[in-house]
């Protein structure tokens, strides 16, 4: 079955003010239990804020490093999920359900992309 990467996008400036409603953790826990039992969820996690990150860029034959926070970026990747689904429609449906568990006042987006299942580099 194909694998999909869901990148959770947030605006860090706005997200700092988000407060969970009383049922948020229960809704999220129920969804995670369901998606795990369905054999769809391979891995998921949130990411530390960009203030703790570093951007590495290759351009013009040179590497550059930029310490966070990345204030010029409106949206950043705040987390991810690796899913194994029968097709893109199923991956999008699980992602839609994940986003719908969040409180109404939050702004959270996602990008769903299928892995290119080309041969992997050998591990050392």
pLDDT tens, position by position, 34-62? 999 999 999 999 999 999 999 999 999 99
* Cβ atoms < 10 Å from Cβ of 71: 10
The span from the CA of 17 to the CA of 107, in Å, is 11
Q: What residue ranges define each of the domains in the chain, with the CATH number in brackets? A: 3-114 (3.30.70.1060)
Q: Between the CA atoms of 57, 58, 59 and 60, what dihedral angle is there, to the nearest 10 degrees? A: 150
From the list 76, 102, 98, the residue with the least C-alpha distance to 85 is: 98
Residue 94 confidence (pLDDT) above 70: yes
Residue 96 confidence (pLDDT) above 90: yes
Instruction: Note whether 27 and 102 are within 8 A (CB).
Output: no
């Amino acid at each position: 079955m194909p694998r999909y990467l869901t990148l959770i996008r947030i605006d860090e400036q706005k997200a700092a003010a988000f407060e969970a409603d009383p049922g948020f953790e229960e809704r999220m826990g129920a969804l995670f239990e369901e998606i795990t039992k369905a054999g769809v969820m391979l891995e998921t996690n949130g990411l530390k804020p960009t203030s703790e990150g570093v951007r590495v860029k290759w351009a013009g034959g040179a590497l550059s490093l930029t310490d966070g926070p990345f204030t010029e970026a409106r949206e950043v990747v705040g987390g991810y999920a690796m899913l194994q689904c029968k097709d893109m429609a199923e991956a999008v449906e699980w992602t839609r359900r994940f986003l719908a568990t969040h409180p109404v006042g939050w702004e959270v987006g996602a990008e769903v992309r299928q892995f290119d299942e080309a041969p992997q580099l050998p591990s050392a």
